[in-house]
Structure 1
Amino acid sequence: MTLRIAVLDDYAGIARDYADWPGEDRIEVFRDTISDPDALVARLLPHNVICVMRERTPLPATILERLPNLRLIVTSGARNLSIDTAAAARLGITVCGTESRGSATAELTMTLMLALSRRIVPEANSASAGGWQTGMGRDLSGLTLGIVGYGRIGAMVARLARVFGMRILAWSRSLTPEKAAALDVDHAASLTELMAGADIVSVHLVLSEETRGLIGAAEFAAMRPGALFLNTSRGPVIQVPALLDGLRNGRPAGAALDVHDIEPLPQDAPQIDRDLIDSGRLLLTPHLGYVSEQTFRLFYTQMAEDIAAWKAGAPIRVIGAGAQSTPKA
């Protein structure tokens, strides 16, 4: 059986080179993201297999129900909340995932932390324009890093931050004082306490109805003078208007956002504020957290493995209840 396989949202154009895809199948790689439902359905309609990169293209029930040829979805990562796995199971569509490397996001977090703290972007811009030093940076050593959401990636960030001599303060709904002590981190009794007690706050939460809009005006207002804020988790966890207002009023003093409510980021997005960006108070990056050569080789290699296993009638890394359908002649 020859499959039609769609590989979506390959922004960098590397999907074909990073894995040994089934040679007998027809593979189409798309480098753009389509947000219009009708246009997305028209693109995907002929395909039996869809490979998605994280949440770049959501696949809700309203889309899946319009794709009668679809038999298999393969997502990068072991979880993708933008895929309606219940609807997929009902429609006889198998959903499989891959392993992931949290190190890429943790390393980017430290990169953004250093860039903000040492004013790398505005100072580099000054030097390239013929100027010289324009401000004063700050060491990480001796500062308190507040980690919101102390899961796998949050713990990786904590390990890296300790190398720089930082104290770790952590908060999550599931983190108790006893667990914090066992993990050798200081425990914040509330999110507000963490925001008030940290020199730098870094968010590492899964997006859910509980975390959507979790950090807003009250939380930013509680931050210390000079404190910095980083979000490399999911855009909707924070209230962007509240963050921008906070930056204009000095709390936080600076922020780095790698994730955004709408991605790719529209050019009329409110966070593209030239005054904040040019002053070095706001650093925007295009969701680079998991974008590294090693991570994407892992993703695409295991996507190809998932397809081969499904074709052989023995799906691997199945996500959700998923009907483990096999290819139909």
Structure 2
Amino acid sequence: MSPRIVFHGENAACFSQDFAGQVAGIGDIAILPDVLSTEAERRIYAEAEFIVGVKFDASLPMPRNLSLFHVPGAGYDAVDLSLLPDSAVVCNCFGHDPAIAEYVFAAMLSRHVPLEAADRKLRNGEWAYWSGALHRVHGELSGKTVGLVGFGHIGKAIARRAKAFDMRVTVANRSRVEPSDLVDQSFTLEDLAQFWPTADFIVVSVPLTPSTRGIVDTAAFSVMKADAVVFNVGRGPTIDEQALFDALREKRIGGAVIDTWYAYPSADASTKHPSSLPFHQLDNIVMTPHMSGWTSGTIRRRQKTIAENVSRRLEGSPCMNVVREEIRQG
């Protein structure tokens, strides 16, 4: 029987378009909903040799012939690796770093280059930012410092772009990063008290682990620059929810741009707001719905990685971005 690949859920289905043309001999492709509500859907899932999906737990059928489980993103915290069959290699993929870096710079530039405000005012006859007077001046990124909490794919992409804007780059990372053409100053996560005051913009992109939960807390906000702007493009709880709200409400920092949150839509949610706290009532935060990495380019790059790993499994070659190797018996 030809190999069968299953794209499980709405997220995974985004990577299925024209997939067969990228992998020779892939055979049947099935697209299944997030909730497998029929016996036919559960049977297709159980017979799959390749699964692309964002989660695996005990509620799903056991795919006993599984060769590859591929997460269509970086995070795999919803995949119970211990439950997957030993025969399966588990991989993830990235490709979101160019998109997230552009998101960060779009937000930073919008704070210093007020194009929309200038356009709106000039349409009303107000020459608000006209050159020639100090009270009409606006800012620029050159000479500012971006502080990166985490220096993985996203951090490096932001650093490269920061240098193109003649910005300084400071980094706080689990292991110290040596100064280079990209990094002006480096700290470990044990030295955060010294890191926070260095930056005009602080971008948090670390994964959520017990050691990074709440890594940006009340103490952090207390030593940041008064006009610092904090970004979260990693995981919501890496920034303490109450501490962030209080710092913004009390104007202890300049603002925040938050893309990753504390609550997400679900069938039983009583509200669609992304927090139990009223961030939406504050005027010094930009709120976006976990969109920074979701671009056509991200989908294209991730689909290419998934297709390459499926081809490698068919050929018996090592995969890329391996989260868990196949467990060989004996």
Do they fold alike, i.e. is TM over 0.5? Answer: yes
1:291-319 CA distances to partner (integer Å, 9 max, x unpaired)? 22232112223323433443555563343
Structure 1 unpaired stretches of 5+: none
Query: Could you tell me which residue of structure 1 aligns to residue 56 of structure 2?
Result: 59
Deviation at 1:40, TM superposition (A): 11
Deviation at 1:283, TM superposition (A): 1.2
1:260-309 CA distances to partner (integer Å, 9 max, x unpaired)? 23445961332663332xx3x21122323332223211222332343344
Deviation at 1:249, TM superposition (A): 0.8
Is 1:220 the counterpart of 2:221? The answer is yes
1:53-80 CA distances to partner (integer Å, 9 max, x unpaired)? xxxx3334x346x434572311235773
Q: How does 1:128-147 map to 2 (within 5 A)?
A: 138-147=139-148
CA RMSD after TM alignment:
3.9
Q: Which has the larger displacement, 3-12 or 226-235?
A: 3-12
Mapped contact 1:169–1:187 kept (Cα < 8 A): yes
Query: Could you tell me which residue of structure 2 aligns to residue 46 of structure 1?
Result: 44
Looking at structure 2, the residues matched to 25 and 227 of structure 1 have their Cα atoms a distance apart, in angstroms, of: 52
Q: How does 1:239-278 map to 2 (within 5 A)?
A: 239-263=240-264, 267-270=272-275, 273-276=279-282
Query: Could you tell me which residue of structure 1 aligns to residue 133 of structure 2?
Result: none
Is 1:295 the counterpart of 2:298? The answer is yes
Mapped contact 1:85–1:319 kept (Cα < 8 A): no
User: SS in structure 2 opposite 1:85?
Assistant: coil
Q: Which has the larger displacement, 241-250 or 299-308?
A: 299-308
Looking at structure 1, the residues matched to 240 and 123 of structure 2 have their Cα atoms a distance apart, in angstroms, of: 34
TM-score where L is the length of structure 1: 0.75
Looking at structure 1, the residues matched to 122 and 21 of structure 2 have their Cα atoms a distance apart, in angstroms, of: 42
1:150-185 CA distances to partner (integer Å, 9 max, x unpaired)? 234212212211222222222223116xx2368541
Mapped contact 1:86–1:322 kept (Cα < 8 A): no
Q: How does 1:1-329 map to 2 (within 5 A)?
A: 1-2=1-2, 3=4, 5-10=6-11, 13=14, 15-17=16-18, 20=21, 24-28=27-31, 30=33, 46-47=44-45, 48=48, 49-52=50-53, 57-60=54-57, 62-63=58-59, 66-68=61-63, 71=66, 72-77=68-73, 80-90=76-86, 92-98=87-93, 100=95, 102-118=97-113, 123=117, 138-175=139-176, 179-180=178-179, 184-188=183-187, 190-263=191-264, 267-270=272-275, 273-276=279-282, 279=283, 281-311=284-314, 316-317=319-320, 318-323=322-327
Mapped contact 2:196–2:223 kept (Cα < 8 A): yes
User: SS in structure 2 opposite 1:114?
Assistant: helix
Label 1:269 to 1:104 Cα distance change in 2 as closer, same or farther (>3 A): closer
1:228-282 CA distances to partner (integer Å, 9 max, x unpaired)? 1111122221112221111111122211112223445961332663332xx3x21
User: SS in structure 1 opposite 2:160?
Assistant: helix
Deviation at 1:18, TM superposition (A): 6.3
User: SS in structure 2 opposite 1:145?
Assistant: strand
Label 1:77 to 1:127 Cα distance change in 2 as closer, same or farther (>3 A): same
Label 1:313 to 1:160 Cα distance change in 2 as closer, same or farther (>3 A): closer
Which amino acid counterpart does residue 240 of structure 1 have in structure 2? Answer: E
User: SS in structure 1 opposite 2:262?
Assistant: coil
Aligned residues, how many?
307
Looking at structure 2, the residues matched to 158 and 191 of structure 1 have their Cα atoms a distance apart, in angstroms, of: 19
Which amino acid counterpart does residue 166 of structure 2 have in structure 1? Answer: G
Label 1:117 to 1:304 Cα distance change in 2 as closer, same or farther (>3 A): same
Which structure has the larger Rg?
2
Deviation at 1:145, TM superposition (A): 1.6
Mapped contact 2:169–2:182 kept (Cα < 8 A): no
Structure 2 unpaired stretches of 5+: 130-135
Query: Could you tell me which residue of structure 1 aligns to residue 132 of structure 2?
Result: none
Deviation at 1:81, TM superposition (A): 4.0
Label 1:116 to 1:294 Cα distance change in 2 as closer, same or farther (>3 A): same
Label 1:253 to 1:46 Cα distance change in 2 as closer, same or farther (>3 A): same
Mapped contact 1:200–1:229 kept (Cα < 8 A): yes
Looking at structure 2, the residues matched to 319 and 40 of structure 1 have their Cα atoms a distance apart, in angstroms, of: 30
Looking at structure 2, the residues matched to 8 and 288 of structure 1 have their Cα atoms a distance apart, in angstroms, of: 18
TM-score where L is the length of structure 2: 0.75
